[in-house]
Chains A and B, each alone.
Chain A
Amino acid sequence: MGQRGSTEVLHSTAKSQTSYDEERVLIQRVKAGDYGAFEAIFRQHVTKVYRQAFKLIGNEAETEEVVQEVFLAVHQKVKTFRGESVFSTWLYRLTTNVALSRLRKRKRTKEVLLDDYLPRFQEDGHHEVRPVRNWENEVDLRLEKQELHRLIREALEELPPLDKAVIVLSDLQGIPNREIGETLGVSIPAVKARLHRARLFLRGKLAVSLGYSPS
């Protein structure tokens, strides 16, 4: 699977040197206390910040609070931005961490046992339920796109916060594992383990919704 860097994904790929220079000047102006420059940064990035926050948070009301918090933090912390990374990368890391912090404070209303949707195996290492059904083509035949998306979104909501952040950043944002690890403060093997587990869980939920065993 192709992995796209956040810089590529979140910036237009053909962003010119001029616009980088303009952004650098804009950030210098924000650092100097120019509120108009801050508003320009807000206008440029608010939609992407909103989308990223919404993917992690899953509802509008809390996403709005996260967007507010992110831009307040931008205003307060922009002086710490040294330009070592692209500004958008810094901003979207900030967004991830604000959203993740909120997810961790949430009381989990529904305790879902992840293991119930993960594959099981016999002692000799074979799949527990055989034959394994290939329902790949049934997804599009039996589920309307909206229904499929609803199922995936609901399954995402049931994941533990860090697993959810990993799969959102990887599969929904296309960010490479190394960058995800740096953003979330976890090792690359840990990113991969959480990503795999989250995908297996989503797969299990889809299998069950189609009437099959997760195994």
Chain B
Amino acid sequence: MVKHPSPQRPRSKNAKITCQQITALILDYMTRELDAETALAFKAHLRECPDCIAFIRTYKKTVQAAQSLRYESIPLEMRKRVRQFLQERIKGSPPNR
């Protein structure tokens, strides 16, 4: 099982949440899946905490960096080899060129 930092929700609208709880809730915050009460507490915390603002900005930057990865097409020679392999395995003969 993955150990997940315990994102204990605030019990009342006046309850404060900690930086550790903010960190555990970032993913749901980004996808707008926090319930209304937790979202309010989350935003209230951010108004007072430059550390968490910095943390969230660098978290989002990391996600953007991962999303910016680009991948090449299959190399032509590899494509030919795979095609040949499949024909030999399935039909028992090399492909017609």
- Specify which chain B residues have a CB less than 8 angstroms from the CB of A40 in the assembled complex: none
* A127 and B55 within 8 A (CB): yes
- Specify which chain A residues have a CB less than 8 angstroms from the CB of B65 in the assembled complex: 139, 148-149, 152, 202, 206
Whether B68 is near chain A, meaning CB under 8 Å from some CB there, is yes
Query: Which of B27, B59, B82 sits near A192, CB closer than 8 Å?
Result: B27
* A119 and B55 within 8 A (CB): yes
Count residues on chain B whose CB falls below 8 Å from chain A CBs. 49
- Specify which chain B residues have a CB less than 8 angstroms from the CB of A172 in the assembled complex: 66-67, 69
* A124 and B86 within 8 A (CB): no
* B74 and A149 within 8 A (CB): no
Whether A3 is near chain B, meaning CB under 8 Å from some CB there, is yes
- Specify which chain A residues have a CB less than 8 angstroms from the CB of B24 in the assembled complex: 196
- Specify which chain A residues have a CB less than 8 angstroms from the CB of B61 in the assembled complex: 135-136, 139, 206
* B74 and A132 within 8 A (CB): no
- Specify which chain A residues have a CB less than 8 angstroms from the CB of B27 in the assembled complex: 192, 195-196, 199
A131-B50, A134-B54 known; A124 vs B18 contact (CB < 8 Å): yes
* A149 and B69 within 8 A (CB): yes
Q: Mark B52-76, 1 if CB is under 8 A from A, else 0.
A: 1111011111110111111111110
* B79 and A46 within 8 A (CB): yes
* A130 and B74 within 8 A (CB): no
Q: Mark A106-150, 1 if CB is under 8 A from B, else 0.
A: 000000000000010100111100111111100100000100110
- Specify which chain A residues have a CB less than 8 angstroms from the CB of B41 in the assembled complex: none
Whether B78 is near chain A, meaning CB under 8 Å from some CB there, is yes
- Specify which chain B residues have a CB less than 8 angstroms from the CB of A46 in the assembled complex: 74, 79, 82
Interface of A is mostly: helix
| A199–B65 CA distance with the chains assembled, in angstroms | 11
Residue ID in chain B nearest A129 by CB atoms? B51
* A72 and B89 within 8 A (CB): yes
Whether A71 is near chain B, meaning CB under 8 Å from some CB there, is yes
| Chain B 15-32 interface residues, beta-carbon cutoff 8 Å to A | 18-21, 23-24, 26-28, 30-31
Q: Mark A1-15, 1 if CB is under 8 A from B, else 0.
A: 101000000000000
* B75 and A60 within 8 A (CB): yes
Residue ID in chain A nearest B91 by CB atoms? A35
| A134–B78 CA distance with the chains assembled, in angstroms | 43
Whether B36 is near chain A, meaning CB under 8 Å from some CB there, is no
| A64–B76 CA distance with the chains assembled, in angstroms | 12
- Specify which chain A residues have a CB less than 8 angstroms from the CB of B74 in the assembled complex: 46-47, 50-51, 67
Whether A190 is near chain B, meaning CB under 8 Å from some CB there, is yes
Query: Which of A64, A194, A200 sits near B59, CB closer than 8 Å?
Result: A200
Query: Which of A51, A75, A125, A152 sits near B90, CB closer than 8 Å?
Result: A75
* A199 and B18 within 8 A (CB): no
* B62 and A202 within 8 A (CB): yes
